[in-house]
Structure 1
Amino acid sequence: MNLSQVTCTFLGEGNEPFVIQVEASPAAYEIAPGASWLNAEKSPDGKTITVTVEDNDTASERSTSISVTAGLASEEIEVIQLAKDNMFARFRYTNTFSQGIAVMSPSGRYVGGYVATIGDDDSWLRAPTIIDLETGEEKQFGPFPESLYYLTQAKAITDNGLLFINDGLNGGQIAIDLTGEVIIPEAPSGHQFKPEIEATSADGKYWIGAGMDKKASEGGLYRPLLWTDGVPTELPMPDKNFREDEFRTGVIARGISANGEIIYGTSWENYDFGMLYWKNNGANTEKPQWVGKDVREVGTVKRTREDGTEYDYTCVNGIICQAWNTQVSPSGKWIAGRYRKEFDPETKQEIETEEYAAFYNTETEKTVIVEDYGASGGKFVTDDGIAFITLGTFGVSVGKVYDLNTGTDLGDTADWINKQYGITIPTGYITYIAQDGKAVLGVSATQSTGGRNSTHWYIAPPLEK
């Protein structure tokens, strides 16, 4: 017997039916829900089970199971339902937003994204949407037709409620505030293309991102940008790229600490993704340093072409990251990344690539590499050194929590959340935690008839009665 899901978690109220795919031999099977508040029904062809739950009017979380039996084969589907509002925290999926994708402001005041609907002429309309986590109030603007703004991805939101969303029609982005006023971020003088903001400081004084100075055919490069009170400047570039070569693509600033003091970015050269950081001094910001410079090793190895001739290739053992913008702790003390090892520094021989979660302390300038979980990556880290790790390299759905101070495993993401907030969440990983720990943003894999998707969720304090 194969079931598409053997554990499912429901909110305390307002749940949609949940569909589980079934493959069983023999095809006939029986189902038995374990509680009166739970209902499970087979489809006429037996290929799915639809699970529904009543609202949870009790003061606590509850759980039961559904027994599925086909001949001698049997399975148990665990069903967990949260209380309507936990006294410590609220858990919510971001299903309000298109594709379930949302961004959280640095101090956890707002989450934002957009909602897509179909207009009367069958064209898409997109409405920027902001939820105030303190009050539960939802603000929606527009909706805007694609012919005006073709909104594609929310990138950042400040604690003042200024939301940045990519514009696939005009290039660059729009920024929209809590009154519905739209602002178009400007590039520095001399840039030919509109820029994109990737992240902001909590107070909105600093925005960071990137722009391209001129066409690639004319030798244009991505340039890391810093906006101070809305005024853009270029951040300095390193002399060479991650592999100590001349730049061909450039550098993108990806994230900034909530206090605005530390900025990190990537050397966006092919698949190198070398991670670097700046100490933000505004117009006087100095050249960046490589994240994990204490463990960085550069060496030349021999590679062989198809015709049998050899050539030199530069390998790097160092810290990398991709297009993620929440990998710095709120004060900038820690930066999360992935340590990639490409060669043996003693033999100068290329090896099969190894990747481990890694965390760099900008104060001590020392790196902690976590090899306990095998292939893994650092996703986020708190100021006090609690690290959040994703397993594997791509398409991950499981997260681990690790104490960098003691070198100990603190369990899966769901275990840690349960201990800290007293609630049970689906399997997933954490992407951001506000400095005071009251707001959390994470990702879980969800299964539906449309397939497997990644959906954001958040934890926020309970609303005041």
Structure 2
Amino acid sequence: MKKGMYCKSVLPLLLLVAATGCTQPTEEVHYIKVDMIACSFQGTDAVPVRITISSNPGPWSAEPSASWIRITEQTEEGIVLTADDNPASTEREGEITVTAGEMTKTIRVTQTGDTFVPARYDVFRDYTMGAVISPNGRYTAGFIGVPDENATDHWLLQVVITDLESGEQYLPAPFLDSLYPLYDPCAITDSGTAFFHCEDGRIIGFSISGDITVLDNVPGAGKPWLSQVASDESGVWVGWCSGGSTVYSPVKWTDGHPEILPLPETTFRGAAWNAGAMARGCSLDGSIIYGTAWEGLDSGLIWWDKEGTPRWVGDKVRKLKPVKIYDTATGTYTDYTLVDGIVGSSDTYYISPSGKWIAGTYRTEELAENETDVIYTSCPAFYDTETDEVHIFPEYEGAVGMTVTDEGLGVIGMGGANGIISHTVMVNIPTATEAGTSTEWIYDTYGIIIPDNSLLEYISPDGRTAFGYDLSGEMEPMRKWYVTRKTAE
């Protein structure tokens, strides 16, 4: 599946034409190549960006579309760009047009606004399939691209890794999707190595130093799928593999060495395992992991403690209820087990940094009067791994737990049980009190106003950065955004 709008550079192509008794002259190929297809600058104190350019025929020229975009250096090999401080509170856009003969190529340039407050806000508008943030909140990563001009069935992709502390971007040279067919970003480490899922099933990592890593298959479990990483000091990654004793096997990597995690004795409904489960996220030190079962439509939330023992999140509120369901097609009754318990999804930010809290959704099931349909009710729940206590918020019916801090500040996604979250609300879990919407909390915490449709899904351990998504994208419906303090407190 191909996604989004892309920007690209042109790769040279030589056509050799053979004829009987003679060789035709080689056709000259015209091209413009750039090693960066888009760049962005922070609102003030922009970090200069160097772009390599080559063309045939030469020479080439480069012209900015706006006066605030400045070319500070130009050589035969390329240009150095910077941007004047942006006095406005809104983002601005422009481009560099590169011309060689009758050919042109544009490089998109964006700059965040400056509101003269101690925080900045930005949206990853150009990213294809969203972005991820590192556990410590310093780095984000995604990728951009455009259709390839020389091959209509290929795309040119460019990985973008951003240091939120300095505003600097790391952009490896663009490459064709035939080399690495990136699908979406899955995780990025605290040192800036970004991992992506590929459409061919591979996991590819790109470091800020330019190294590329391909994750190996796990012996006895098959092809890996990376979900999240812990701190660099821990060396822990978590995810799953498609294979092993069950269809899916939860996996923990420590310094690159995989370990297949055990499953609870029975499934969420008390049956024998078949499909298995997936590890989804972990604490900052990698000692506590959580994941979801994947039996049918069940998504019971599992956690592995520091000893690696698996158990159901909030097991004390999990209740199995055997019933007989009437089959209208056959006119017979079938044994079935309803379950009240805590469920989750594929989200990677459910757990607090220390692993004290795990967010989830408390779901109950009841057999309808017709003895055929099952009635579900859902509300947010937060589990304390240290005390084994479950904090349920029934007043937010239809909402889901999304993330939580070590201090017990929880984020609730309103309407999430039906699949689409309308807005996010903050709650103080120990006192069971509401702390306003997430946009109100961001204004109170960071002193900056962001759009009301900004849904919060992660808060960095030091509280310096908030990360989430909105539903305003035209090409990509879930655009990622961040708010970060300009200077550490």
- TM-score band by shorter chain is 0.7 to 0.9
Residue 130 to residue 12, structure 1, CA distance change in 2 (3 Å): closer
- The residue aligned with 2:326 is 304
Tell me, yes or no, if structure 1 residue 365 matches structure 2 residue 388.
yes
- The residue aligned with 2:161 is 130
Larger radius of gyration: 2
- CA shift for structure 1 position 88: 2.3
What is the rounded CA distance, in whole Å, between the counterparts of 1:463 and 1:387 in structure 2? Answer: 25
What is the rounded CA distance, in whole Å, between the counterparts of 1:118 and 1:142 in structure 2? Answer: 16
- The residue aligned with 1:445 is 471
* One-letter identity of the residue aligned with 1:210: W
Match of 2:344 among 311, 318, 321: 321
* One-letter identity of the residue aligned with 1:445: L
Match of 2:311 among 281, 285, 289: 289
- CA shift for structure 1 position 462: 1.0
- The residue aligned with 1:148 is 179
Tell me, yes or no, if structure 1 residue 335 matches structure 2 residue 355.
no
- The residue aligned with 1:49 is none
Residues 334-383 of structure 1: CA deviation (Å, up to 9, x unaligned): 00011110038xxx998520010110000011111112222100000110
- CA shift for structure 1 position 391: 0.8
Match of 1:240 among 246, 260, 266: 266
Match of 1:95 among 113, 121, 125: 125
What is the rounded CA distance, in whole Å, between the counterparts of 2:144 and 2:374 in structure 1? Answer: 46
Residues 275-321 of structure 1: CA deviation (Å, up to 9, x unaligned): 0000244xxx23x0100112111110110012221111011100111
- The residue aligned with 1:253 is 279
* One-letter identity of the residue aligned with 2:285: N
Give the secondary-structure state (helix, strand or coil) at the position aligned to 1:446.
Answer: coil
- The residue aligned with 1:69 is none
- CA shift for structure 1 position 188: 2.7
| 1:176-325 mapped onto 2 (5 Å cutoff) | 176-191=206-221, 193-203=222-232, 205-213=235-243, 220-281=246-307, 285-286=308-309, 288-305=310-327, 306-325=329-348
- CA shift for structure 1 position 443: 1.3
Q: Is the 8 A contact 1:135 1:463 kept in 2?
A: no
Tell me, yes or no, if structure 1 residue 377 matches structure 2 residue 400.
yes
Residues 192-244 of structure 1: CA deviation (Å, up to 9, x unaligned): x3201100102160000000225xxxx75210001000111111112211111
Equivalent residues, number:
377
Residue 280 to residue 200, structure 1, CA distance change in 2 (3 Å): farther
Q: Is the 8 A contact 1:172 1:195 kept in 2?
A: yes
Tell me, yes or no, if structure 1 residue 406 matches structure 2 residue 445.
no
Q: Is the 8 A contact 1:300 1:312 kept in 2?
A: yes
Q: Is the 8 A contact 1:114 1:127 kept in 2?
A: yes
Residue 83 to residue 174, structure 1, CA distance change in 2 (3 Å): closer
Residue 153 to residue 212, structure 1, CA distance change in 2 (3 Å): same
* One-letter identity of the residue aligned with 1:88: P
Give the secondary-structure state (helix, strand or coil) at the position aligned to 1:420.
Answer: helix
- CA shift for structure 1 position 463: 5.9
* One-letter identity of the residue aligned with 1:146: D
What is the rounded CA distance, in whole Å, between the counterparts of 1:231 and 1:13 in structure 2? Answer: 42
Structure 2 residue runs of 5 or longer lacking an equivalent are 1-40, 45-84, 91-111
- CA shift for structure 1 position 399: 0.7
* One-letter identity of the residue aligned with 2:211: E
> How many percent identity over aligned positions?
35
* One-letter identity of the residue aligned with 2:339: V
What is the rounded CA distance, in whole Å, between the counterparts of 2:115 and 2:257 in structure 1? Answer: 42
* One-letter identity of the residue aligned with 1:105: S
Match of 2:197 among 166, 172, 196: 166
Taking CA–CA contacts closer than 8 Å with sequence separation of 6 or more, which of the two structures ends up with the larger relative contact order?
Answer: 1
* One-letter identity of the residue aligned with 2:268: F
Tell me, yes or no, if structure 1 residue 107 matches structure 2 residue 129.
no
- CA shift for structure 1 position 94: 1.5
Kindly report the root-mean-square deviation, in angstroms, between the aligned alpha carbons of the 2 structures.
2.4
Give the secondary-structure state (helix, strand or coil) at the position aligned to 2:478.
Answer: strand
TM-score, normalised via structure 1 length: 0.76
* One-letter identity of the residue aligned with 1:206: V
- The residue aligned with 1:30 is none
What is the rounded CA distance, in whole Å, between the counterparts of 1:291 and 1:261 in structure 2? Answer: 16
What is the rounded CA distance, in whole Å, between the counterparts of 2:374 and 2:172 in structure 1? Answer: 52
What is the rounded CA distance, in whole Å, between the counterparts of 1:409 and 1:165 in structure 2? Answer: 36
What is the rounded CA distance, in whole Å, between the counterparts of 1:260 and 1:13 in structure 2? Answer: 36
TM-score, normalised via structure 2 length: 0.73
- CA shift for structure 1 position 124: 0.4
What is the rounded CA distance, in whole Å, between the counterparts of 1:274 and 1:292 in structure 2? Answer: 10
